[in-house]
Structure 1
Amino acid sequence: MSATVYVGLGSNEGDREAHLVSALEAMSRIDAVAVLHCSSLFESAPVGPPQPHYLNAVVALECTLPPQRLLCILKQIERDLGRQHGGPRWGPRPIDLDILLWEGEVVADPNLQVPHLELHKRRFALEPLSELAPDAEHPVLGMTVIELLTQLAPQDVRRCEATWWPETLLPVTE
């Protein structure tokens, strides 16, 4: 069965946009996954220890894999792109891929929580997500993405220009 899945991408090491584009290209090559749309790019202040600003985006995927299988593949993409797991919590990284929302699913297991446990607190995830799915409902909180966004205090997040990242809302793959 197919579902729409929203994945958050972030990078704050090296060529941030190139890391996001590489992750997007890797996701487009996953069997049983089609990249539907991409948000704009957003730059945000980091959460956690002092470190460079992040570049963030959200992509909408059409996916027939189970959530845990997609998570395993996303973690492999992170490793392939140079992410070292085991560093400081919320530390800098070349790439971070998080499953934010999964249409019709709530997942609560030790390795995966969907919707993402911090989604409702993170403007850097909600701003790009609101471009793709403003009316998507958080299945636990019962609020739409846009409602969650309007309740959030201001945070250091701003839309920025892309060099290689696909245009907002345009399909990435045919």
Structure 2
Amino acid sequence: MAEVYVSIGSNIEPELHVTAALDALQDYFGALQVSSVFESESVGFKGDCFLNLVVGFDTTMAVGELSLLLKQIESENGRVKNAPKFCSRTLDIDILTYDDRVGEVDGVSLPRSEILENAFVLWPLAEVAGDQVHPEVLKTYSQLWQAFDKSQKLKPVDFIWQGDKVSPMAR
């Protein structure tokens, strides 16, 4: 059984699509570790703000099989295939870590480089997996977040999923 963390982002009807992503992941994997939900400005293009979060779960799927499933969930939620990298989207789900794998696995680069580049990935990852160690830089995600340049605008927001508040950091 592999421990996996994925990032989820949406800026087109984000409440609807984040909820759909969480529901689908729960249907496939059961219990989920869900971070707070954060609002962030779009990066690399002008567009509406995104909702972002990180979700952890266990799976017996191989990396490639998991990647295909995540693309299927995106597609079922209106994600346009072959759209420009920097554009608005209904749903974006990316594998951040798969156990402590490093390198290219089934066409997926692990751990995902955006962990060290974007506050909207690192902050929620530090929230749900703060004591875990990044397999390349050998620091915990909490340590990485503490040292991170926090100039990217990011704030926790209220988010209700299945009747429960999943954003404990929102005020």
Asked whether 1:164 is paired with 2:154, we answer: no
Conserved? CA contact 2:158–2:165, under 8 Å: no
Counterpart Cα distance in 2 of 1:138 and 1:156 = 23
Counterpart Cα distance in 2 of 1:111 and 1:90 = 20
Conserved? CA contact 1:34–1:63, under 8 Å: no
TM-score by length of 2: 0.90
Counterpart Cα distance in 2 of 1:91 and 1:48 = 8
Which residue number in structure 1 is paired with residue 31 of structure 2? 35
Q: Output the aligned Cα RMSD.
A: 1.8
Conserved? CA contact 1:10–1:95, under 8 Å: yes
Unmatched runs of 5 consecutive residues or more in structure 1:
none
The alpha carbon displacement at 1:162 in A equals 1.1
The alpha carbon displacement at 1:106 in A equals 2.0
| AA aligned opposite 1:126 | L
The higher-RCO structure (CA 8 Å, 6+ apart) is 1
Counterpart Cα distance in 2 of 1:36 and 1:43 = 21
Asked whether 1:127 is paired with 2:101, we answer: no
Which piece of structure 1 moves more, 100-109 or 134-143? 100-109
Superposed CA offset, 1:126-169 (max 9, x none): 11111111011111111111121122211101001113364349
Which residue number in structure 1 is paired with residue 15 of structure 2? 17
SS at match of 2:149: coil
Question: Percent identity between the aligned chains?
Answer: 33
Conserved? CA contact 1:38–1:57, under 8 Å: yes
Count of residue correspondences: 166
Which residue number in structure 2 is paired with residue 62 of structure 1? 58
| AA aligned opposite 1:38 | V
TM-score by length of 1: 0.88
SS at match of 2:33: strand
| AA aligned opposite 1:84 | V
Asked whether 1:3 is paired with 2:2, we answer: yes
Counterpart Cα distance in 2 of 1:35 and 1:125 = 21
Which residue number in structure 2 is paired with residue 102 of structure 1? 98
Counterpart Cα distance in 2 of 1:104 and 1:48 = 29
Q: From 84, 93, 102, give the equivalent of 2:89.
A: 93
SS at match of 1:19: helix
The runs of at least 4 aligned residues of structure 1 exceeding 4 Å deviation read none
